[in-house]
Amino acid sequence: MQKIRYGLIALLMLFCSVTSATAQVSVGIGLPGVNIGINLPLLPQLVPVPGYPVYYAPQVDSNYFFYDGMYWVFQNDNWYASSWYNGPWGPVEPQFVPSFILRIPVGYYRHPPRYFRGWRSDAPPRWGRHWGHEWEQNRRGWDRWDRRSAPAAAPLPSYQRRYSGDRYPRQVEQQQRLRSEHYRYQPREKAVREHYRQHDNQRSAPQQKQRGREHKD
């Protein structure tokens, strides 16, 4: 009886560890579906942040950036990302925010939170102080980089200028189809690549299910 009890405990521990590992792999940039109150009628002007592979939107009344083929917004103490300029937006866990987004100098935030006060405008926010010691340990070195080896900025998705107002694609599937047709850039960030892989899996699942039904028929 005691051996059975130990066996059940070991099995439970194994199940928990597998569940935890799966969760660690699956989190990152959440699938889009969040409305964060941004309503842009057209693709905004995007201006390079000097020395960074990042763009910012000086005419948008938000902390709005473009990096690695995606739009990034910092709002209400949370990061969000989207492949289209007006969303829908997916939440981004702090540990998965790309380093070059974290490095954007304070001076390029249109609406910096209160805890930014007193920080140098030409330096990045002190995320370690805000998100805590555990985050800082996991993201050690995020604020140290050789500016001479910075990657080139991703090309701007200028094709999205053609989709404004009522022409803006609201369905994620339509957005993904248009992006694959008009934008060939391949992301360099692991979290961004994983985000698109989730999209592809989600889009292909109904098709595979339909093919399975047709095969049975």
Average pLDDT over residues 4-24: 39
| pTM attached to this predicted model | 0.80
Q: How far apart are CA 195 and CA 198, in angstroms?
A: 5
Reference 92, options 75, 111, 104; nearest CA is: 75
CA 110, 188, 24: angle at the middle one, nearest 5? 85
pLDDT digits (tens, 9 = 90+) for 150-165: 899 999 999 999 999 9
Percent of the chain with pLDDT over 90: 67
pLDDT digits (tens, 9 = 90+) for 52-62: 999 999 999 99
What is the predicted pLDDT for the residue at 3? 46
